[in-house]
Amino acid sequence: MLMTLIIVIVTAVISLIALNNQKFKADLIFWPSVIQSNGQYYRFLSYGFIHADLIHLSFNMISLYSFGVFIERDIFSAPWLFGDNGRWYFLAMYILALIVATIPDYFKYRNTYGYTALGASGAVSAVIFSGIILQPTMEINFMFIPFPIKGYIFGILFLAMSWYLAKKGKDNIGHVAHFFGALFGVAFTVIAGKLFANEKVDLLSQFIHSVFKH
């Protein structure tokens, strides 16, 4: 079974339990002040397996499945990249992205008792941007965009919008997690490709060449 599908199933099950059990949800949610005071570092990971509501869960899991299957099965597991170990590199990227995406908010809000966050959006952003660095000219379709858009163009717009909305800070969406999750997806893919691929490859140079050639 694909690691992507396993992540989707596990996240859906835990999220559905949390939607009907507030104590369970509170025990897993990303809560910087509680992490600092109680040393509950598992929250850097557990928050990514719970969601605010069914819409939040559905959007993240549909996005993860749509991109994750392609990246894990068709690219990460390709003989020239990670081969049979592709699924494990995919899992490592996803888990590490959950952690990395929340680090900026941890330091910003660790003394703010009322701040909490949840959802897999940061890790999903990492998966999407891993796909963009690998296939920059692929066409991306989103329900909110009425026409396909090239991956690298979407990436630029996404990062700019996430940074702007994070600075504005007038909604309850984790734009900082989106931004840093996306950057981590790029960094992980480029570094892993250079150090651990079966055929060592400079994915950043390939990305730049593909964009300008296009």
- Pull the structure tokens for residue 99: 């952690």
The pLDDT of 159-166, averaged and rounded, is 79
Domain limits, the chain: 3-213
Contact residues for 94 (Cβ-Cβ < 8 A; gap 6+): 3, 7, 123, 126, 127
The model's pLDDT over 73-89, given as tens digits with 9 standing for 90+, comes to 989 999 999 999 999 99
* Contact by Cβ (8 Å): 97, 126: yes
pLDDT at 143: 59
Task: Tell me the three-class secondary structure of the chain, residue by residue.
Answer: CCHHHHHHHHHHHHHHHHHCCHHHHHHHCECHHHHHHHCCCCHHHHHHHCCCCHHHHHHHHHHHHHHHHHHHHHHHCCCCCCHHHHHHHHHHHHHHHHHHHHHHHHHHHCCCCCCCECCCHHHHHHHHHHHHHHCCCCEECCCCCCCCEEHHHHHHHHHHHHHHHHHHCCCCCCHHHHHHHHHHHHHHHHHHHHHCCCCCCCHHHHHHHHHHHC
**Which is higher by pLDDT, 109 or 168?**
109
The model's pLDDT over 103-136, given as tens digits with 9 standing for 90+, comes to 999 999 999 998 999 999 999 999 999 999 988 8
Q: Is the pLDDT of residue 144 over 70?
A: no
The fraction of the chain above a pLDDT of 70, given in percent, is 95
In CATH, what number does 3-213 get? 1.20.1540.10
Residue 146 burial class via C-beta count within 10 angstroms: exposed 0-12, middle 13-18, buried 19 and up: exposed
pLDDT at 172: 64
**CA 33 to CA 108: how far, in whole Å?**
10
* pLDDT confidence band for 36 (50 / 70 / 90): very high
Mean pLDDT of the chain: 89
CA dihedral 120, 125, 131, 133 (to 10 degrees): -150
Statement: the pTM of the whole predicted model exceeds 0.85? yes
* pLDDT confidence band for 170 (50 / 70 / 90): low
